[in-house]
Structure 1
Amino acid sequence: MAHFYDQDLTRPKSFNFAVDVVDYWAAKTPPLQAMYWVSQDGKDCEDLSYAHFERQSHRIAVLLKETGVTSGEKVLMILPRLPAWWELAIACLRSGVVVCPATTLLVAKDIEFRCQRSQASVYVGDSSSVQKFLKIRASCPRVRTVIQVGGDPPQGVIELSAALEKAVPKDAIFRGPKPDMCSPALIYFTSGTTGHPKMVQHDHISYPLAHTITGKHWLRLSPGKLYWNLSEQGWAKAAWSFFGTWNCGASLFVHDDRQSFSPTRLLDILHQYPITTLCAPPTAYRQLVLGESQEYFRKKPPQALSHCSGAGEPLNGEVIRLWKDMSGMQICDGYGQTETILICGNFEGADIRPGSMGRPSPGVPLHVVDSKGEECSEGVEGDMAILVKSEEPDEGDFFGLFQGYLGPDGSLDKRVRTFVGSRHVAPKSWYLTGDRATRDKDGYFWFVGRADDVINSAGYRIGPFEVESTLKQHPAVVESAVVSSPDSSRGEVVKAFIVLTKQYVQRDANLLVKELQDFCKKNAAPYKYPRKIQFVDATFLPKTISGKIKRNELKRLEWTSSASKL
């Protein structure tokens, strides 16, 4: 029987990623490599097969069941790039427990919010993130079980390896029922724009199976390929890699890198290991094509690397040109969201037009529409929208989309930013991505800008509301407005316009900037701190009649005045 990887992707009658993907590839002989893992210092390496993840996920699923964790309960998982992350994730998918990944950059306050909002009953982390959680455990009464990966666990915390060794045989099999494919499987947190981060809920098809499109057509993966994605496990981009790679029977290259990005370290790794496929944010490619990195690459180009892709922010056409000149390879840009699979990209056999996001992914009904839901003409700016449902008989429903946003009370909002428009006679329901674009006569999409205020700095999506809320906690701040500001290295960075309290107006400006930046790093995830700060009078901030700050005006002013200085 042909595997779904070899067929046109359609919605099956039943599907479970652990059973139909991991177990499928685990049964192959000779054994297929699923992961090549390298420790922080590069001294320890593990070559892990699909059979390894099949065995470990069964054992962990049994352990969770014996610990009292049942299908439908939520696990908030904050782990660095350790094999246990994938072992746990597969165990949850196998048993119907809902995985809620989060980044290791979060501080205790961020973790508290996510535990409370997700209503998680299990918390999983390494020794560092467990210590953060224990600071706020009293305010998270729903969390019954805390699991630590590695290290010496505090009292009342289960250490994963020790618990498996003690209580679960190596050949243990999880016997629970296979979860319904429409039941929740994963929840990711977005970056907040007008409020706190939203919870994006996916079922067992919307991410796991539909990402076959991402892996097969964009990343061009197949058994024998070794794929390296730079994203940390708390971000949805890592799920793109996880599901996209293993759907295709390829292998993940995982480096447990916990340092800030270094282009020379990246090149060293590409030289040392047989990585065939690389996905990096445009920020990384920008640094690789400049200065010493370019010289280093030309002297010793990677031998195995054959395909490069980029996503997370718009990719500059000049970077694509320079990378092609120095490596001989094109960067295949791609576009998608936490809410979706890859929905637009540059695919094999199609010309790459520098600056374009490419064309819609195979099977993805992506369009540019106006405010009435009518498709825009060529070259006319509109909203990027996916056709979710149509009453026309020749058009099916798109299933690579999330189920909805999960509310604080646990209810699911299925409206997912859709609206019903009309084209000709038949009504159509669109999902709006929140981004603006144009489409040329050949079907290529060209990014115009975000319809919301999210700041995309070096691939990190940062909500202004979160930064403003953190600044508000400092006694020097009366109010603030946070927008993006152009930056030659990161594309854009966080800038805060701050109105000071009377007590701080006379303080040394440089010292106060550092104090506020350090305060943000301590009280929010470090990547969110404002790299630029400007102190202003209250009258400087443009506001609506109701008193809301007009961020768009500040952003326009910032990009107009700052871009010329880069």
Structure 2
Amino acid sequence: MNDQYSVLYPTYQWFVPSQFNIAQACVHRWAENPQEGRRIAIYHENEVGQREVWTYSRLSETTNKLSHGLVKMGVQPGARVAVIMDQRPEAVAACMAVFSVGAIAVPLPALIGSDGLAARLRDADARVAIVDATAAPALLDAQLQCPALAQIIALGFDHEAIIPWRTLLARQPADFKVAATKSDAAALLLYTGGTAGAPKGVLLAHGSLIGSLPGFVAAQNWFPQKGDVFWSPIEWSRAAGFMNALLPSLYFGQSLVGTLGDFSTTRCLEVMERYRVTNAFLFPTIIKLIMHDLPAPRDRYQLALRAIMTTGESLDAGVFEWCRKALGVTPNEVFGQTEMNAVIGNSHKKWPAKPGSIGRPYPGHQVAVLDSHGKPCAVGTVGEIALNRYDIHRHPDPALFLGYWRNEAATQGKFSKDWCLTGDLASVDEDGYFWYAGRSDDIFKSSGHRIGPGEIEDCLLGHSAVSSAAVVPKPDNSRGALVKAYVVLRNSAKGLNTQDLQKELQEHVRTHLASYQTPREIEFVDSLPLTNTGNIRRHILRAREQQRSGAVDGSRK
């Protein structure tokens, strides 16, 4: 194919207006034109298959009514308002109403439980929360730990301590003057769910949406095109779903599918078939589940897919090739963080995708791999991925976060001069493609050798018996650490003798990698601890090995 990267990257120029409001850009501007307002913004399907459509006009009107309600409740610009709702149209209206009044939206997933909600609500100092029936019981429990949380608006849930959604919206005007926010004004407070440490509040500006667009457009094979319909099963309450699915789809005035209910591979394909989904955002774990459960999906489903964006972990060559053959789509892998969304990735229609690579820097972003002295690494040398505050034309990069919420020390610690450090390791090849090598805190030494878990995990995944794998250090007095692998087997391999299988997997790694990379111990488990974005939470497994080592050492004393 024709590689257009050398033209696209150096010629890209940011245009970030001085005033910009996400709600105006994503909802209200479409509703201002009657013809555009009749377009479908959201196709919605609940747990039992009931369906409805929300036009841009309906979404704008509901947003406006809720905006009036929030103002009457005393919500002012800069106030934090929590939105704890499933993937439903009202969740979109809630966030857009918060943006419309100039306040800061704090999307939170109900699945983190009452204690998790309470910790984040206290940190954000949220005084108002908007919830649905799923989240309401957990939030009421959390409210007992949050004295500042004075008002709760609930959809489909009655309780003496809450204000019903319908009651608040009743008799409110259907028009509202959106706050004239600056593009660098705070709009979103998103909490990280990272691979290590306590979650931190990441503060993003209204203009951060503009910063996400080059990566989104490229990863979705130049979105939008006529008739594009977008869907992702990833909850909009998560940073990944909010920034890589919800906001950009609405920004371009396209149709978005929202679904409620438990995920299954069958329903995933049914939804894509029913709504003629053209563009999807799927975690690698989801793609692998579909591959294992329905190896030939197009034999049963009429799919209209033209682009798949994926992030969270690298797709091995087998999964990459399966997507091309079974789904008819070359997946575009994307790398980013809550602090800097979608800054590296692929765009199959514009430049070739290399299986296993996380791609090249997207236009508008100056990204490098730095050594311990903050200098760019040589080709093929592993270093830390970093994003510069400025693009190659010395214009500020709008994708970069404003800072950690009320944590200046952590914000300063994220930077080395103009470089924002990710904590993720990679190397860059001679063509400018980045190859992920794991988290910096996942690297360990064994018998003097520097061990990166990613390469060993990818090797294990190349074995037909392995569904997923995680590699961590096991403390050892003589070697410092042993290479330990946690392995989840595919269903077809679960009846095999584990001792024989361990030897087979060790030999598999020894054949393909250096002998010192061979796991000395393999533990077979039913599942691995994962973040919301599908990343392996290796720090949990490392802590488990540390605890086991301490228990063993203690028993010897």
The TM-score normalised by the length of structure 2 is 0.76
Using the TM superposition, give the Cα deviation of residue 115 of structure 1 relative to its aligned residue in structure 2, in angstroms: 1.2
| Equivalent residue letter for 1:93 | F
2:481 aligns to what? none
Partners of 1:311 and 1:335 within 8 A in 2: yes
How many Å separate the matches in 2 of 1:412 and 1:183?
A: 21
Asked if 1:400 corresponds to 2:399, the answer is yes
Q: What do the CA deviations read for 1:150-206 (whole angstroms, capped 9, x no partner)?
A: 13x2103111123212x413x2x2246423332211011113666421110011112
Using the TM superposition, give the Cα deviation of residue 413 of structure 1 relative to its aligned residue in structure 2, in angstroms: 5.7
2:412 aligns to what? 415
Partners of 2:110 and 2:138 within 8 A in 1: no
1:303 aligns to what? 303
User: Pairwise mapping of residues 466-485 of structure 1 onto structure 2 (< 5 A)?
Assistant: 485=486
- Residue 223 of structure 2 aligns to a residue whose secondary structure is coil
Cα distance, 1:48–1:195 mapped onto 2, change above 3 Å = same
Q: What do the CA deviations read for 1:497-516 (whole angstroms, capped 9, x no partner)?
A: xxxxxxxxxxxxxxxxx9xx
Using the TM superposition, give the Cα deviation of residue 531 of structure 1 relative to its aligned residue in structure 2, in angstroms: 9.7
1:433 counterpart (413, 422, 441):
422
- Residue 252 of structure 1 aligns to a residue whose secondary structure is strand
- Residue 389 of structure 2 aligns to a residue whose secondary structure is strand
Using the TM superposition, give the Cα deviation of residue 328 of structure 1 relative to its aligned residue in structure 2, in angstroms: 2.1
1:353 aligns to what? 354
Asked if 1:38 corresponds to 2:45, the answer is yes
- Residue 224 of structure 1 aligns to a residue whose secondary structure is coil
2:4 aligns to what? none
Partners of 1:81 and 1:255 within 8 A in 2: yes
2:252 aligns to what? 248
- Residue 80 of structure 1 aligns to a residue whose secondary structure is coil
Cα distance, 1:322–1:303 mapped onto 2, change above 3 Å = closer
Aligned-pair identity in percent equals 25
- Residue 61 of structure 2 aligns to a residue whose secondary structure is helix
Partners of 1:226 and 1:274 within 8 A in 2: yes
User: Pairwise mapping of residues 67-466 of structure 1 onto structure 2 (< 5 A)?
Assistant: 67-151=73-157, 153-165=158-170, 167-169=171-173, 171=174, 173-175=175-177, 177-191=179-193, 195-206=197-208, 208-219=209-220, 220-222=222-224, 224-240=227-243, 241-257=245-261, 259=262, 261-290=263-292, 292-295=293-296, 297-347=297-347, 348-389=349-390, 394-407=393-406, 414-415=411-412, 417-420=414-417, 429-452=418-441
How many Å separate the matches in 1 of 2:413 and 2:26?
A: 28
How many Å separate the matches in 1 of 2:142 and 2:254?
A: 40
How many Å separate the matches in 1 of 2:409 and 2:316?
A: 37
Partners of 2:369 and 2:426 within 8 A in 1: yes
Partners of 2:236 and 2:246 within 8 A in 1: no
Partners of 2:44 and 2:51 within 8 A in 1: yes
- Residue 107 of structure 1 aligns to a residue whose secondary structure is helix
User: Pairwise mapping of residues 3-18 of structure 1 onto structure 2 (< 5 A)?
Assistant: 9-18=14-23
Using the TM superposition, give the Cα deviation of residue 21 of structure 1 relative to its aligned residue in structure 2, in angstroms: 3.5
How many Å separate the matches in 1 of 2:439 and 2:388?
A: 19
Asked if 1:538 corresponds to 2:545, the answer is no
User: Pairwise mapping of residues 512-551 of structure 1 onto structure 2 (< 5 A)?
Assistant: 536=548, 538=550, 540=552
- Residue 58 of structure 2 aligns to a residue whose secondary structure is helix
Cα distance, 1:413–1:94 mapped onto 2, change above 3 Å = farther
How many Å separate the matches in 2 of 1:418 and 1:437?
A: 18
Partners of 2:13 and 2:364 within 8 A in 1: no
Using the TM superposition, give the Cα deviation of residue 113 of structure 1 relative to its aligned residue in structure 2, in angstroms: 0.7
How many Å separate the matches in 1 of 2:241 and 2:66?
A: 21
How many Å separate the matches in 2 of 1:343 and 1:488?
A: 33
- Residue 111 of structure 2 aligns to a residue whose secondary structure is coil
Q: What do the CA deviations read for 1:242-288 (whole angstroms, capped 9, x no partner)?
A: 1221222222111113x2x3212212222222111111111111122
How many Å separate the matches in 2 of 1:247 and 1:443?
A: 30
1:510 aligns to what? none
Partners of 1:17 and 1:209 within 8 A in 2: no
How many Å separate the matches in 1 of 2:283 and 2:219?
A: 15
1:63 counterpart (66, 69, 73):
69
- Residue 120 of structure 2 aligns to a residue whose secondary structure is helix
- Residue 100 of structure 1 aligns to a residue whose secondary structure is strand
- Residue 105 of structure 2 aligns to a residue whose secondary structure is strand
